[in-house]
Amino acid sequence: MNFTLAELAEASRGRLLSGNPRRIVRRIGTDTRILRASECFLALDGKNYRGSEFIDQAIAKGAAGVITTMTAPPEGFPSERFFISVDDTTTALGDIAREWRMIVDPTVCAITGSSGKTTTKEMLSFICRRRFKHLATDGNFNNLIGLPLTLLRLKEEHEVAIVETGMNMPGELTRLGEICIPDISIITNIGNAHIGNFGSVENLIRAKAELFEATPRDGTAIINADCPHASIMAEAFKIPEMVISYGQGDQADVQARNVRLLDPYGYEFELRILDSRHRVRLDVFGRYQVSNALAAAAAAAALGVEPAEIAERLCEFHAPSMRAQTEWLDGALVISDCYNASPDATMASLRSLADIAGLSRRYAVLGDMLELGDQVEKFHRRVGIAAAEAQIDFLCTIGANSEFIREEAERLGIAARHFASADEVAEFLDRKLRAGDGLLVKGSRGMKLEQVLLRLREMRSAVRSGDVVPISCVEGI
């Protein structure tokens, strides 16, 4: 970032109350725990905290100045530090980021959807790595704070910015679109994630469409032709003039044809972009990853990457941490998909586990799915039905709402047990999981189900090193 204080005050719609207007500011930080000397401390206000309460800590750590909702510097504020007063710090952060995005002026690809956002972002970033100087969202910094902080990492040499945009409520994508001003907008799918915050699928479709409506008319919209709600969106809401569709049918512009399951996991397919045909071997777990790959391919094509290069890079891609990440643990195939979970995504993961041939037994550890509102029981029971349809050999559940998953699965004849903690599940799996088995671990981020795998690895490592491991008190199957 490269603003004078006068420019920073104007971009934030604030008032510069102290400091030299010509002073240069290059970095903004919002967390005093990791704030670096000479950064500007932007004092965010949240539901349970006020950033202005940390101004003293910021100054003590060497902050060059602050942006805050306080209308005057506090008593004892150093005269050599600058002070900008704004009406709302979250809004100010977004406005500053928007201004810097406009100055750097990269081609911005914005990605949203009920599932697949982060993996699509990672795939697109991987494809672009050789071709462009580009910036991509770190992790899932995709909200009204994370997106601006991502854009403020832009350097003047960046040609492309690939940003993830998430939402929990109506209007959020409108604001995120105002901040990033996308040239290319991708909606991976519209499912039932966060549906409890919207009340209906119709409202969810409307909210997702906000990203397309925030995209300039001369931009590009990338739509999943296999998503039944995509056509509703395209017909009912304003979208850019240029539309690229992707899917596994003849109607899509970017297609995956002749999809074939690999052994033990992964998919091979023919990638069709216009008149080009290229074989892709996608070394990731989950049939839904084919759709993510197509979304990334469509966006890369819109950026001008040649189809042959797109196919080559997809063949080299590996899943990011905790997102359908695979590993072998003493001969058992373990799929860690602990970063997020919606009903649609969880059911897709169960179907993908069933796809894998040659497994001796299939285990699944499922946790609560969050933000489902008054439909929480219905969707958890639906996942229990999906577990039965996938013929899971044993189902482990954690969390109050996942009891509904267990009840429904047991009703349909699946062996299942509810556990009180990650340690209990790990102890059970340590006794039961053997070479040739498959294990899926999936739940919403708030459930922290990666703790199951961390504990299981520790227990198996301790056995290999000769340490004593307590015998589990959990009964067998």
| pLDDT for the residue 361 | 97
| pLDDT for the residue 195 | 58
Q: Residue 312: how many CB atoms within 10 A of its CB?
A: 14
What one-letter code names the amino acid at 97? A
Q: Which strand ranges, in their side-by-side order, compose the sheet holding 332-337?
A: 325-329, 332-337, 438-442, 362-367, 394-398, 416-419
Q: Average pLDDT in the 68-81 region?
A: 95
Q: Using an 8 Å Cβ cutoff, are 85 and 14 in contact?
A: yes
Q: What is the DSSP string of 420-433?
A: SSHHHHHHHHHHH-
At 32, the pLDDT band (50, 70, 90 cuts) reads very high
Q: How far apart are CA 174 and CA 185, in angstroms?
A: 12
Q: How far apart are CA 138 and CA 125, in angstroms?
A: 11
The residue with greater pLDDT, 224 or 465, is 224
Q: Which residues contact 216 (CB under 8 A, 6 or more apart)?
A: 181, 183, 240
Q: Average pLDDT in the 403-424 region?
A: 96
Q: Which residues contact 367 (CB under 8 A, 6 or more apart)?
A: 341, 397, 398, 399, 402, 442, 443, 444, 447, 449
Q: Average pLDDT in the 156-161 region?
A: 97
Q: Flag the least confident range among 348-352, 361-365, 443-447.
A: 443-447
| pLDDT for the residue 193 | 59
The tokens describing 290, both together, are 């084919």
Q: Average pLDDT in the 90-115 region?
A: 96
| pLDDT for the residue 229 | 83
At 238, the pLDDT band (50, 70, 90 cuts) reads confident
The residue with greater pLDDT, 468 or 378, is 378
Reply yes or no on whether the pLDDT at 192 is more than 70. no
**How many alpha carbons lie under 13 Å from residue 412 in its C-beta half-sphere?**
20
Give the chain's mean pLDDT.
91
Share of the chain above pLDDT 70, in %: 95
pLDDT digits (tens, 9 = 90+) for 312-339: 999 999 987 777 889 999 999 999 988 7
Q: Average pLDDT in the 397-424 region?
A: 96
pLDDT digits (tens, 9 = 90+) for 441-452: 998 878 889 999
Share of the chain above pLDDT 90, in %: 77
Residue 26 Cα distances to 23, 43, 102, angstroms: 10, 17, 16
User: Prior bond to 170 cis, omega within 30?
Assistant: no
Reply yes or no on whether the pLDDT at 191 is more than 80. no
Q: Which contiguous run of DSSP H or E holds residue 438?
A: strand 438-442
Q: Running DSSP on this structure, what letter comes out for residue 319? A: P
Q: Average pLDDT in the 349-372 region?
A: 92
| pLDDT for the residue 80 | 94
Domains of the chain (ranges plus CATH)?
Answer: 3-92 (3.40.1390.10), 105-315 (3.40.1190.10), 325-465 (3.90.190.20)
Q: How far apart are CA 358 and CA 340, in angstroms?
A: 27
Q: Average pLDDT in the 142-147 region?
A: 95
Q: How far apart are CA 86 and CA 70, in angstroms?
A: 8
| pLDDT for the residue 444 | 80
| pLDDT for the residue 388 | 97
The tokens describing 386, both together, are 């999906």
The pTM score is 0.87
First-to-last CA distance in the chain? 58
